[in-house]
């Protein structure tokens, strides 16, 4: 049997200990990287877009407050007529509330029931447009930044009712039938993508339910003012200190 001398044994043991130590250190210093997937990238992009949108909204709010400060300073110094300022503010508020006719770029959507022969005899939900379909389209347009929306020349506000009434849909208490013409003012590209891009509700209606949906981008759209009436029966102004 070959004899191992003591120095060689010491070097051998030291080498093993050194290897274990280096392996442990390497394990401690190597960071862990989570796998990057398309879903994680899209989630991150959505979060960034949401934050950027909030920043834009805050900047708009700051600009509005600065304008109000300048207006009050002008009134205090006597440079502005308070009647003219109040009229201007009233006009702005009427536009925001939907009580003024507005115009601007956007899209026009034409929606019609699936009247093909293959559709007859199929399930009810597969060939007719329902109030839920119109509501989803409206919500997608609002999510894409629509500033004003109308359906068959009925201005759509937050208080507008949209519900089925047999083969028709009631909007603001008035009955309208197909085809439905939805007009929306805003960024035409974003509004168009909200309806036609894959994975949107409008795209599903067209490709799965075979609902007839056509969109056209317009440079100038006119949307009428809200001409209905409403009274607040339950909501009342909040008092100071409440």
Average pLDDT per 10 consecutive residues for the chain, totaling 242 residues: 56 69 58 68 84 87 82 70 73 78 94 68 64 91 92 88 79 86 95 93 89 93 84 71 56
- Domain's final residue, options 81, 97, 113: 97
Task: Note down the domain range covering 106.
Answer: 102-223
Same domain, 139 and 165: yes
Among candidate residues 209, 222, 225, the one with its CA nearest the CA of residue 111: 209
85 within domain boundaries: yes
Residues 127 and 186 in one domain: yes
Instruction: Tell me: do 162 and 140 sit in the same domain.
Output: yes
Q: For position 24, what pLDDT does the model report?
A: 61
The reply to whether 120 and 74 lie within a common domain is: no
CA distance 206 to 210: 5
Cβ–Cβ < 8 Å for 183, 217: no
Q: How far apart are CA 39 and CA 34, in angstroms?
A: 13
Q: Verify that 71 and 112 share a domain, yes or no.
A: no
Residue 111 sits in the same domain as residue 219:
yes
Same domain, 58 and 106: no
| Backbone angles phi and psi of 187, in degrees to 5 | -70, 110
Q: Per this entry, what is the length of the chain?
A: 242
Q: Answer yes or no: do 93 and 170 share one domain.
A: no
Whether residue 16 is contained in a domain is answered as no
Q: Is 7 domain-assigned?
A: no
**In the chain, how long is the greatest CA-to-CA distance?**
114
193 within a domain of the structure (yes/no): yes
CA 21, 24, 28, 30 torsion-angle sign: positive
Q: Looking at residue 1, what is its pLDDT?
A: 46
């Amino acid at each position: 049997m070959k004899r191992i001398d003591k120095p060689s044994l010491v070097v051998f043991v030291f080498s093993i200990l050194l290897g274990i130590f280096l392996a442990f250190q390497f394990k401690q210093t190597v960071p862990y990287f989570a796998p990057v997937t398309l879903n994680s990238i899209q989630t991150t992009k959505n979060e960034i877009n949401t934050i950027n949108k909030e920043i834009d909204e805050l900047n708009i709010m700051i600009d509005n407050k600065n304008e109000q400060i300048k207006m009050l300073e002008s009134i205090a110094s006597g440079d502005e007529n308070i009647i003219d300022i109040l009229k201007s503010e009233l006009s702005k508020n009427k536009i925001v509330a939907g009580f003024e006719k507005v115009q601007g770029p956007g899209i026009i959507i034409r929606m019609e029931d699936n009247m093909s022969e293959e559709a007859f005899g199929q399930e009810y939900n597969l060939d007719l447009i329902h109030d839920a379909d119109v509501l989803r389209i409206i919500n997608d347009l609002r999510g894409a930044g629509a500033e004003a929306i109308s359906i068959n020349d009925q201005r759509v506000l937050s208080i507008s009712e949209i519900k089925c009434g047999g083969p028709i849909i009631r909007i603001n208490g008035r009955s309208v039938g197909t085809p439905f013409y939805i007009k929306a003012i805003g960024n035409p590209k974003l509004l168009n993508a909200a309806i036609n891009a894959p994975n949107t509700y409008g795209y599903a209606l067209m490709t799965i339910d075979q609902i007839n949906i056509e969109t056209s981008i317009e440079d100038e759209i006119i949307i009428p003012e809200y001409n209905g009436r409403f009274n607040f029966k339950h909501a009342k102004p909040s008092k100071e200190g409440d």
